[in-house]
Structure 1
Amino acid sequence: MSYENFAYYYDSLMEPQFYDDYHAFIYKHCQFNEVLELGCGTGEIAIRLSKDGKHVFASDLSLDMLEVAKQKAMAENVNLILQRVDMSDFSTSHQVDLVLCLCDSINYLLNPEDVLKTFQNVYSSLKDNGTFIFDIDSLYKMNVILKNYHEDEEDEEFSFHWHVETLEDGYVHHHLRIEDKIENEIVDENHFQKTYTVSQYVYWLNEIGFIDIKYYSDFEEYHEDCERIIFVCRKG
């Protein structure tokens, strides 16, 4: 499921430092001029890369996310090429140096076939020796941190409710509800995410043809008890 009205509140729940850290991580692990971002969300990374002079193609399944990204790019005087794309069913007109799929977007693919299709699409979209960077929520996060998780906040302007139901190993249901008391608007959405073991993702990447597969925990050396696992690999 893609984000709908929640897209307009997404940035208020994210820390800018997270995007700054990701921006630095990308440059540490690859050299590139042209980049395709899948699941670009509100465009935070795409806008940063475009400001660096990179040629950025930014895509998302959610039209609302793309609208937010468009408005932000215009405000920043950045020329982003934005398009609605289903990552499990796309092709590109030419190959790029780098493909990004960040912020647990891969976890919205709920069956192995769609994960494999996405990896194959990415492989086809990359130049030889091109780089693919993506991240996933870890099994530790899904099974331990998010197990029956509840977050409820309220002030004079907003009320925010986030409840997580564990469906099975590595598979969760998020229920998000926001009441905007200023705009008199209620956002109520359900999202489902699924994750797998690191070895399973590595197996799939190898099957497609990716090489030099490395993975990190939240920008640092890998350890099992982490929330986010970032993969960096190259087209063989």
Structure 2
Amino acid sequence: MSYENFSYYYDSLMDPAFYNDYIDFINKHAKFQSVLELGCGTGEVAIRLAKQNKSVVATDLSDDMLYVAKEKAMAENAEVNFKRVDMTNFESNQQADLVLCLCDSLNYILDENDVKKVLMNAYQALKMNGTFIFDVDSLYKCNVILNDYHEESHDDDFDFCWDVKSDGAGSIEHHVVIIDRENDDCVDEIHHQKTLPVHVYGEMLKEAGFSYTVFSDFDSYKEECERLIFVCKKEM
């Protein structure tokens, strides 16, 4: 399920420092001028890169996410080319130095064959010696940290409730409820995600033609982490 009304509240629930960590990580591990982002969401990473004078094409499947991203880019005078794209089924007319798929966007691809398609599409969209950086939630996060997870907050104008169910095998269901009394709005959405073992992603990457290194939470790899980040190279 793609984001709908939740898109308009997404940024208010995220820590801006999180995106700064991404930018630092990207600049450390890739040399690039042109960027293609898959699953750009509200455009936080794309806008930051555009303001570093990078040439950015940012894509998402959700019309609502793209609307928010475009509005933000205009407000910040950031030049980003936004497009609606299904990352499992696209062809790029112009290859990029860097392809990104961040903020667990790939976890919304539930079928393993479709995950393979995304990795192969990313390979085709890259210039030779280009870099593909993507992240996924770890099995540890999905099976342990998020198992029966509950979070809520309340104030005079706004109620937020987030519940997560895990099947113990990498699949999770998010239930998000937002009651916005100030704007007379209510959001009630369910989202499904799935993650795979590290070695399965590795096998898919090798099949697609990539060499890769795995990191955890912007640092060295460890099994008990929240986020796995793959830095992949398209080489001869």
Q: TM-score, normalised by structure 2?
A: 0.98
Where does structure 2 lack aligned partners over 5 or more consecutive residues?
A: none
SS in 1 for 2:78: coil
Q: What is the one-letter code of the residue matched to 2:133?
A: I
Runs (4+) of structure 1 exceeding 6 A deviation are: none
Aligned residues between the structures: 235
Q: How many angstroms apart in 2 are the aligned matches of 1:188 and 1:47?
A: 28
Q: How many angstroms apart in 1 are the aligned matches of 2:30 and 2:165?
A: 37
Residue 19 of structure 2 corresponds to which residue in structure 1? 19
Residue 218 of structure 1 corresponds to which residue in structure 2? 217
Q: How many angstroms apart in 2 are the aligned matches of 1:31 and 1:155?
A: 45
Q: What is the one-letter code of the residue matched to 1:225?
A: E
SS in 2 for 1:22: helix
Residue 49 of structure 1 corresponds to which residue in structure 2? 49
Matched, 1:233 2:232: yes
Q: How many angstroms apart in 1 are the aligned matches of 2:51 and 2:183?
A: 32
SS in 1 for 2:45: helix
Residue 93 of structure 1 corresponds to which residue in structure 2? 93
Matched, 1:180 2:213: no
Is the 8 Å Cα contact of residues 172 and 193 (structure 2) preserved in structure 1? yes
Supply the RMSD in Å over aligned alpha carbons: 0.7
Query: What whole-Å deviation, never above 9, does each CA across 1:101-143 have from its counterpart, x for those lacking one?
Result: 0000000010110000000110000001110000000000000
Query: What whole-Å deviation, never above 9, does each CA across 1:170-224 have from its counterpart, x for those lacking one?
Result: 001111110001001001111000001111101100011001x101111011111
Q: How many angstroms apart in 1 are the aligned matches of 2:202 and 2:129?
A: 17
Q: How many angstroms apart in 2 are the aligned matches of 1:152 and 1:46?
A: 29
Q: What is the one-letter code of the residue matched to 1:133?
A: I
Report 1:157-196 matches (<5 A).
157-196=157-196
Residue 207 of structure 1 corresponds to which residue in structure 2? 207
SS in 1 for 2:206: helix
Identical columns (%): 58
Residue 66 of structure 2 corresponds to which residue in structure 1? 66
Q: How many angstroms apart in 2 are the aligned matches of 1:161 and 1:61?
A: 25
Where does structure 1 lack aligned partners over 5 or more consecutive residues?
A: none
Displacement of 1:152 after TM fit?
A: 1.6
Query: What whole-Å deviation, never above 9, does each CA across 1:78-103 have from its counterpart, x for those lacking one?
Result: 11100111100011111110000000
Q: What is the one-letter code of the residue matched to 1:226?
A: C
Q: TM-score, normalised by structure 1?
A: 0.98
